[in-house]
Amino acid sequence: MSSEINGDKAFNIIPRWVDGHHSSRECRECLDGSGCAYMSEFCDGYNTCDNGEDENEDICRELECRKGFMKCKDGIHCFPEYTLCDNILYCKDGSDDDQEMCKNRTCPTDTTKCSDGIACFSPKERCDGYEFCKTGDDEDTVMCKAYVCPKWKWKCADDQQCVFKQRLCDGYQDCNDKTKLNRAEKRTSHERIDDKATTSKKKTRHSFSVQSTSNPSVCFLCNENGQEAFHESSTFDTRVRECAVKLNDTLLLAKLSAAWECDSGQVKCDDGIQCISKLSVCDKRTDCHDTSDENEDMCKARVCPYGSKKCSYDYSCVYEVQWCNGPYDCSSREDEDPDKCLTYVCPEVKRKCADDQQCVYKEGWCNGYPDCWDSSDEDPGFCRDYKCLPGFVKCKDGLQCIRSVDMCSVIYSGQGTQCNDGSDKDDDYCSAYECPRYFVKCPNGNVCVHESMICSGEQMCNGESEDEQEFCKTYNCGDIMSKCDNGYQCVHDYKKCDGFADCSDGSDENPEICIENRICPVGTVKCNNDVQCIYAFQFCNGYHECSDKSDENPKICTKDRDCHNGMSRCSNNNPHCIYDSWFCNDDVDCKNREDENPNFCLNRM
């Protein structure tokens, strides 16, 4: 819809360009005074301003789509790239699902084209109980019966549907065959469920399924000896520790919760029942039902955690990285006070903008998009001489840094560019580009693929299946992978003899090699079955990697478990060991996210 706006005024509301880019944080005032519109709200098909000026057709034709979005054929509206050819129309002209365009389109990595040649479905849509393909390919009964669910999912009794494990016993039916709860009960049928109570020195527990009032989830199931037999803490809403307990169809408040100990990283409210995150104390939001987490006297006397500072008015603690960063975090706005910010020294992970008022993460400098209010982090004169951080490389224009793993990468093939000058997808530039460590070039010489993905049986190099197969026949699989008998496919050594065929010819499960006393490859540890080998970090991670389930044996997965050299436990209460370099790297490796806990990472800096 084109709104009736004077041409001069319309020009004034177009988000201003800074070296070809807008500021995503700027909210443009609506001319009718009805509010303001952020850049992301322009040309999205919905009126943010009452007079519709953010959807003005003249403005939208001039405005480029933001990163990760594409223009409809009409040149007006933008839609998310990941919704392309998904059988749902986002463009009013239907161009995002144009049949001819979709048939000629190459599916993104790790997706499969439906048999009608239109949509591409991903592993998360395969056998999930809902038809994504109009032809039903993703829910084919024969395929789904043989399909092995990902380790974070669980198969329903009909062997047709995979549901997320955290949805087991949550009070809501997810399996289309309506057997999820029955199947879940079957998992624990060896435990006797009754209303007996057993008292120990620390805890009083009943044999029942406990459910959170805000997010019904299994907390634990005890046997008649009071021993914890089944625990799904990852599905439990840790912010609410009051549990509704169903005993003989009577709903009771679990007062025994008062005897529970809070998890690591939590504190107990004054009522003695509810546990909340330590980060939620004195954060200006009430999390305890008794409001004790925001008690003024307590917050005033409280010492802020390391790496944070106290606001003088409401006594809340704000991380140092949030001081002088632009948005207000203290209700008094003192964290962005111009006089204080002028002399404020930025944390090590940030640097100051040219106005001496704002600290911006170093990764945000010369990344192609302004983070400083004054746009000094993207100043061409500065960025041309700027040296990218380790793990980043310059685009061809010398003005923008992107992650080295994103340069000429297959991951973003067909999904737009990371470099604003398009050099990360430029064939000539990429043919001369040297792939980073652990990456190798595709046969076409233009695309970099991780060494664990190439020749893996998936078409990773823009669908060049025949060329890739010829290339893989002479490709060296490396130290941690082995070649299948077919001569062109590589599989991880830890996947050999795991009970599942990864080689297309099944040779990784050949009985002649899957024998007892086989020698494990370097870096792997043997399962109890004396056949299968898995990596050390796969033990005690909450998922069964060994076919005999010995990697999750409670006798070895103890809180005092010793880790291999160069590895550490996720936390004192988590026996999962990960490599020391995996802590605080912005990738979650521990089941409960302990490796990326802000308090821990700030202390580690």
**DSSP state letters, 419-483:** STTSGGG-HHHHHHPPPPTTEEE-TTSS-EEETTTTTSSS--STT-HHHHHHHHHS----SSEEE
Averaged pLDDT, 9-38: 54
Domain co-membership, 307 together with 377: yes
Distance CA 352, CA 349 (A): 11
Averaged pLDDT, 73-96: 80
Domain boundary among 426, 453, 475: 475
Please say if the pLDDT value at position 218 is more than 50: no
Q: Which range among 91-105, 227-241, 245-259 has the greatest average pLDDT?
A: 91-105
Q: How many separate domains does the chain show?
A: 2
Q: Residue 178 — pLDDT band, cuts 50, 70, 90?
A: low
Dihedral, CA of residue 191, residue 193, residue 194 and residue 196, to nearest 10: 50
13 located within any domain: no
331 located within any domain: yes
Averaged pLDDT, 21-50: 69
Domain co-membership, 415 together with 344: no
Domain co-membership, 441 together with 373: no
Q: Are 458 and 472 in contact (CB under 8 A)?
A: no
Q: Which range among 3-7, 409-413, 423-427, 493-497 has the greatest average pLDDT?
A: 423-427
Residue 18 is predicted with a pLDDT of: 32
392 φ/ψ angles, rounded to the nearest 5 degrees: -120, 155
Q: Residue 319 — pLDDT band, cuts 50, 70, 90?
A: confident
Q: Are 440 and 449 in contact (CB under 8 A)?
A: yes
Residue from 117, 114, 147 nearest 133 by CA: 114
52 located within any domain: no
Averaged pLDDT, 31-38: 76
**Distances in Å between the alpha carbon of 460 and those of 85, 107, 449, 451, 473?**
20, 11, 7, 11, 15
414 located within any domain: yes
Distance CA 285, CA 299 (A): 12
Domain co-membership, 317 together with 361: yes
Q: Which range among 1-10, 385-394, 509-518, 566-575 has the greatest average pLDDT?
A: 385-394
**Distances in Å between the alpha carbon of 305 and those of 233, 302, 453?**
26, 9, 42
Distance CA 150, CA 165 (A): 10
Domain boundary among 432, 459, 475: 475
If you ran DSSP here, which 8-state letter would residue 14 be given? Answer: S
Averaged pLDDT, 32-57: 77
Residue 342 is predicted with a pLDDT of: 92
Domain boundary among 443, 475, 507: 475
567 located within any domain: no
Residue 379 is predicted with a pLDDT of: 94
427 located within any domain: yes
Domain co-membership, 372 together with 447: no
Domain co-membership, 420 together with 469: yes
Domain co-membership, 375 together with 415: no
Which residues 6+ apart lie within 8 Å of 533 measured at CB? 493, 494, 496, 497, 518, 520, 521, 524, 525, 526, 527
Residue with tokens 């009070």: 171
Residue type, 3: S
Share of the chain above pLDDT 70, in %: 75
Domain co-membership, 403 together with 378: no
Averaged pLDDT, 406-419: 70
Domain assignment of residue 360, given as a range: 303-386
Averaged pLDDT, 436-440: 84
Domain co-membership, 381 together with 405: no
* Residue pLDDT, tens place only, 194-210: 333 322 222 333 333 33
Residue from 134, 141, 57, 43 nearest 97 by CA: 134
Averaged pLDDT, 233-250: 33
361 located within any domain: yes
Residue from 604, 596, 605, 591 nearest 279 by CA: 596
Distance CA 475, CA 489 (A): 9
